[in-house]
Amino acid sequence: ETGVTQTPRHLVMGMTNKKSLKCEQHLGHNAMYWYKQSAKKPLELMFVYSLEERVENNSVPSRFSPECPNSSHLFLHLHTLQPEDSALYLCASSQDIPRTGDINYGYTFGSGTRLTVV
Amino acid sequence: AQKVTQAQTEISVVEKEDVTLDCVYETRDTTYYLFWYKQPPSGELVFLIRRNSFDEQNEISGRYSWNFQKSTSSFNFTITASQVVDSAVYFCALSERDYKLSFGAGTTVTVRA
C-alpha cells in the first residue's frame, strides 16, 4: 500500500454515466496531480493542484472535472466520456510544486483507477 | 516533440541475466532532473531514482545501477542478475524548469525463471 490511495481500482461506465475517481494522501503533501496513462502512450499530465488551487489544466476536455476540497483529497469527476478515454488514471502527490533549484523533491503515485468506457 | 525516448519497447531475459534499459532525453534547460520509475502489474509507479543535471556520478543501489551521460543526453538503467520480481514496466522521466514530469513510453521487462 503506497501513501497515495485511489478508489475505485477498476471502473466500467457507459458514455452517459457520471462517476468520480477519488485520491487520498496523508503524507502531508501540498501538491496533487492527475495523470492519464493510455495504452502505448506516455503518461500525460492532466491537472495540478497546489494548496487546493488548480495551477495547471493541460488542455483537458471539459468532460473531466477535477476537485480538490482540501490538500489530502483530490477527485476527478467524469461525465459523458468517450471510449477513447479508457485508460489508467494515476494520482500523485508531492511536498510542494517543485521550483527551479529544488533538489529534494519527489512524487508519490497511487495504484491508479483502471477506467473502461463502454 | 518527445522529450524522453525509451527506444526499447519490450525486453525479455532469463533470470540472472543483466538487462540495460536505455533512456535518451532532450532539453534546453541547464537545470533539470531525471527519474526512473517502476510500474509493477499492480499499477502504482514506484520511485527508483532522481538525478539532477549537475551530478553526473553514476549510482549503484543493490542490483540497480544508473549511468548518466550528459554528453549523449542519456540516463541508462541496468538491472544486474535479474529476478522474476523485476518484471515490470520501467519509465524514464524528465523534469525541466517547471515541475512537470515528461515520461518516456516505457520499457516492459519480462524476466523468465
| pLDDT over 90 (residue A52) | no
Are the beta carbons of A23 and A74 closer than 8 angstroms? yes
Rounded CA-CA distance A116/A30 in Å is 30
What pLDDT sits at residue A54?
82
- DSSP structure string for A38-76: -TTS--EEEEEEETTEEEEE-S--TTEEEEEEETTEEEE
- SS3 string, A9-40, reads CEEEECCCCEEEEEEEECCCCCEEEEEEECCC
CA closest to B107 among chain A residues: A40
Find which of B24, B35, B44 to mutate to test the A interface (most A CBs within 10 Å of its CB): B44
Which residue(s) pair with B66 in the sheet? B59, B77
What pLDDT sits at residue B37?
93
Cell numbers that stand for B97 in this block: 524548469
| pLDDT over 90 (residue A22) | yes
CB atoms within 10 A of CB B13: 16
From chain B residues 7-66, the ones with a CB under 8 A of any chain A CB are 31, 37, 42-47, 50, 52
User: In Å, how far is B93's CA from the nearest CA of chain A?
Assistant: 10
What pLDDT sits at residue A58?
73
Q: Which residues contact A9 (CB under 8 A, 6 or more apart)?
A: A111, A112, A113, A114, B43
What pLDDT sits at residue B54?
87
Per-residue model confidence as pLDDT tens digits over A96-117: 766 554 544 678 899 999 999 9
Q: Which residues contact B71 (CB under 8 A, 6 or more apart)?
A: none
Q: Do A42 and B95 touch (CB under 8 A)?
A: no
Cell numbers that stand for B10 in this block: 519490450
| pLDDT over 90 (residue B21) | yes
Outline where DSSP puts E strands in B31-71.
33-39, 46-52, 59-61, 64-69
The lowest-confidence range among A2-16, A39-53, B5-19, B82-96 is: A39-53
pLDDT level of residue A62 (50, 70, 90 thresholds): very high
Rounded CA-CA distance B53/B63 in Å is 23
The lowest-confidence range among A3-7, A21-25, A41-45, B34-38 is: A41-45
CA neighbor of A10 nearest in space, from A118, A115, A117: A115
Please give the backbone phi and psi of residue A99, each rounded to the nearest 5 degrees, phi first: -115, 165
**Could you tell me the end-to-end alpha-carbon distance of chain A, in angstroms, rounded to an integer?**
29
Are the beta carbons of A13 and A118 closer than 8 angstroms? yes
**Could you tell me the end-to-end alpha-carbon distance of chain B, in angstroms, rounded to an integer?**
38
Please give the backbone phi and psi of residue A91, each rounded to the nearest 5 degrees, phi first: -105, 145
What pLDDT sits at residue A94?
86
Q: Identify the residue with better confidence: A50 or B100.
A: A50
